[in-house]
Structure 1
Amino acid sequence: MDSVKSVLRRMGQARTVLRGLEPGGSFENLPSSALSAAFSPLRQPPPSFPMRRSPDANGFELGTSKNLSSRLDEFGVPFPEELLEKPPLIKPTWSVSEYGELHGEHRVDDYPRFYFFGDSLTDRAFKEDEKGFGWLLRKQYEGKVEIVNRGFSGYNSKWLHDAFQDFIIDVAEKRGPPAPLLITIWLGYEDAHLPPLAVHVPLKEFEQHLRRYVRAILDHPGMKDTRIVLITPPPTNVKQPQEPPIPFPGSTEIQRNMVLRTRAHRTWLSKRKYAEKVVEIGEEFEDKTLRVAVIDLWYSVTRWACSEEINGVSTGFDELDEIDTLPGCGLPKAKVFREEIFSDSIHLGKKAHEILASELLDLIRGRWPEISPESLPLQEQAPSDQERMFGVIADTIAGMKEIH
């Protein structure tokens, strides 16, 4: 009888989890007890990073994503895809130089480059409609530097080593001089998710992966002048608990204790710990070399939200941190980030990207003025966006003629 009750209870918890994953639900807001009871963590080997070496019309395709959504637990309930270790299907954006290499014309191997390397935050940062920081930097360096999007959605620091080797190190070696002028590394947002999510990487292991990326660049004989900027993951945006219809003595403290146990708040804390670790690593390398710097985006966007005036009153980061009411933490009396910072609970808004772009440009101008937009000359050999577009159209027409 006890085993039957246990089965029924777990099935009910599983349904609760699945309902939370429906549109309008939030996986991060589900009680941790329901998650741990309803699902057993899947411990699969790290995903491989198979590659097709010959580029096709769409660019490099990194294998295919296995359809694991059909996997069921012992009760016939499908596991959410968020819990499955599977590499996403990735088609990195072709850059100006790679376009030229692909078509055998307009070769621009000596065109100066920045690489922006990271997870989905970097990938989305190049969207014009979101005014991402990658798009903003491209506007600043237009005609002077080719800024290459190397963001891989859904990947954590552990899964990205092959992509880093293939799309940054190997490409730089193939091109030869000049070495990349700058490489940004923006990781930790996926890693900081709590288990049993498969993208979770323990903090100590995350530190090892991040150090390995930095050392690979610093120790590479062909990248002796390449600068590195580490960027911390941003915070999350946890909603405040609803006030009780009729407040009673101790109600705020009860709400606070409940929020402290939620998965959402613990995820917020985790993002902060990973951000602090990135700062720690960055400052350690800063003390050893002038080639490394760090941007604390977690602190910057939180500080900006703290400084907003509400009803004519402005409060500071330290003041709110002391009383545990920093924006986005979800505790009672803590405000949420506005849409300018988070377009939803996960994706960064335009103001957050603006803050990051501004901090990166200020860092470059102050630490490495020789690669600032004002210091670099215009490049004439690179095809414009219009030329690239017409080149694609011409190639498509030519291919159609060959078929007929």
Structure 2
Amino acid sequence: MMGNKQPQPRIILFGASLTQWSFREETSGFGWTFKQRYAGKAEVVNEGKAGYTSTTLNPEFERVLQEIKAPNAPRTLFITILVGANDACIIGPNGEEYCPLSEFEENIRNWVDSILVEDKLSATKILLITPPPLDISNPPYPDKVDLEVAKAGRGYLTYLNKKRYAEKVMEIARSYEHTGFVAGADIWTALIETALEEQGRLDKPDAFDPEMLPGCGLPKAKCFGTGYFTDGLHFGKLGYEVVTRELTKVISTNWPEVLPEALK
């Protein structure tokens, strides 16, 4: 008699719209790409919820956690967590965010801790992904723009804030490095460096000048090239290519045993 066939392990992709829409074939996002790569070896599950912040995602995370730690649930190879693009948006006149940085950090740490303490998930890897930069349109008449007024605008402040949230994600990831089960993927830097290289500025002394960063919207800055973003926030095909490449690099470096070619 043939034995019972073991269910395929799962890969959970958790987050907001950048995760949810990564499964669309037309943009070949990391969700869609992972589904192709892991076909027949692991089920790649879309747990992205467009428009959510890390705080409004808390009930969704609890639901996912209960599902993957159930006694009869298949093993979870790894979980990606991509939040912050909505959290970091400036919405108030005094610089208030949708989700303050301290609350954002608390949410992520609670999720990571909740996974690490579960016996059922003792081998599950956690990949924390930074929010990306924005791609703000350049002003039509840059020589007439008051730089200080532009720097005080909500767009530029949100741009800088996303950098802060990205740095926080990497800080959180580093604080869990000793476990061997948590790593960070800095897609903010990967996207910025890709744009700087295309602009021929990556090796320039002022490459990372905050007033000249790609997509920041200030007069001396340049936008990302066509295909990286669709609306200034969400990725196009080229943007998702950078993201997928960065995720694959981090997974290969830290946990080669969960690469598709390593799975039977």
Is the structural similarity TM-score above 0.5?
yes
Distance (Å, rounded) in 2 between the aligned partners of 1:336 and 1:193: 19
Residue 110 of structure 2 is matched in structure 1 by 212
Show CA shifts across 1:312-370 (max 9, x none): x4444763223620101111110011222112212111111111111222222221111
Contact 2:215 2:224 (C-alpha < 8 Å) held by counterparts: yes
Does residue 293 (structure 1) correspond to residue 180 (structure 2)? The answer is no
Q: Paired residue for 1:135, among 32, 46, 69? A: 32
Q: Which amino acid aligns with 2:220?
A: K
SS in 2 for 1:269: helix
Which residue identity lines up with residue 106 of structure 2 in the other structure? Q
The residue that corresponds to 1:358 in the other structure is: 245
What SS does the aligned partner of 2:206 have? helix
Give the structure 1 partner of residue 219 of structure 2: 332
Q: Does the Cα contact within 8 Å between 1:307 and 1:317 map onto a contact in 2?
A: no
Whether the 8 Å contact between 1:302 and 1:326 is mirrored in structure 2 is: yes
Aligned 1:325-404 pairs, distance under 5 A:
325-377=212-264
- Residue identity matched to 1:271: K
Structure 1 residue 173: Cα displacement: 2.6
Corresponding letter in the other structure for 1:206:
F
Q: Which moved more, 1:205-214 or 1:318-327?
A: 318-327
2:105 alignment partner AA: E
2:61 and 2:188 mapped to 1: Cα distance? Answer: 24
Counterpart position of 1:189: 85
Aligned partners of 1:268 and 1:113: how far apart in 2? Answer: 34
In structure 2, distance between residues paired with 1:206 and 1:183: 18
State how far apart, in whole Å, the 1-side matches of 2:242 and 2:106 are: 28
Structure 2 alignment gaps of length 5 or more: none
For residue 172 of structure 2, what is the aligned residue in structure 1? 281
Does 2:20 align with 1:123? yes
Root-mean-square deviation over aligned CA pairs:
2.2
Greater shift, 230-239 or 339-348, is seen at: 339-348
Question: Larger relative contact order (C-alpha < 8 A, sep ≥ 6)?
Answer: 2
User: Secondary structure of the residue that 1:150 maps to in structure 2?
Assistant: strand
Contact 1:235/1:298 (8 A) holds in 2: yes
Matches within 5 A, 1:232-311: 232-243=130-141, 255-286=146-177, 288-309=178-199
Conserved? CA contact 2:186–2:246, under 8 Å: no
Q: Quote the offset at 1:200 in angstroms.
A: 0.3
Residue identity (%)? 37
What secondary structure sits across from 1:319 in the alignment? coil
Q: Aligned with 1:183: secondary structure?
A: strand
In structure 1, how many angstroms separate the alpha carbons of the residues matched to 2:201 and 2:57?
41
Q: CA deviation at 1:186?
A: 0.4
Partners of 2:211 and 2:220 within 8 A in 1: no
Distance 1:329 1:316, change over 3 A: farther
| Contact 1:241 1:255 survives alignment (8 Å) | no
Residue 77 of structure 2 aligns with an amino acid whose one-letter code is L
Alpha-carbon distance in structure 2 between the residues aligned to 1:134 and 1:337 = 23
Deviation at 1:147, TM superposition (A): 0.6
How many Å apart are 1:145 and its aligned residue?
Answer: 1.0
CA distance, structure 1, for counterparts of residue 192 and residue 211 of structure 2: 13
| SS in structure 2 of the partner of residue 272 of structure 1 | helix
What is the DSSP-based 3-state SS (H/G/I as helix, E as strand, rest coil) of the residue aligned with 2:216?
coil
Alignment partners' CA distance in 1, 2:168 and 2:75: 28
Residues 364 and 327 of structure 1, relative CA distance in 2, 3 Å threshold: same
SS in 2 for 1:171: helix
Q: Number of residue pairs matched?
A: 259
Aligned positions of 1:59-138 closer than 5 A: 110-138=7-35
Contact persistence 1:109–1:175 (CA under 8 A): no
Q: TM-score under structure 1 normalisation? A: 0.61
> How far, CA to CA, are the matches of 2:59 and 2:11 in structure 1?
19
What SS class does the counterpart of residue 184 from structure 2 fall into? strand
Q: CA offset at residue 108 of structure 1?
A: 7.5
Q: TM-score, normalised by structure 2?
A: 0.91
Does the residue aligned with 1:330 lie in a helix, a strand or coil?
Answer: coil
- 334 and 110 in structure 1: CA distance in 2 versus 1, 3 angstrom threshold: same
- Farther off after superposition, 227-236 or 190-199: 190-199
**Pairwise CA distance, 1:109:** 6.8
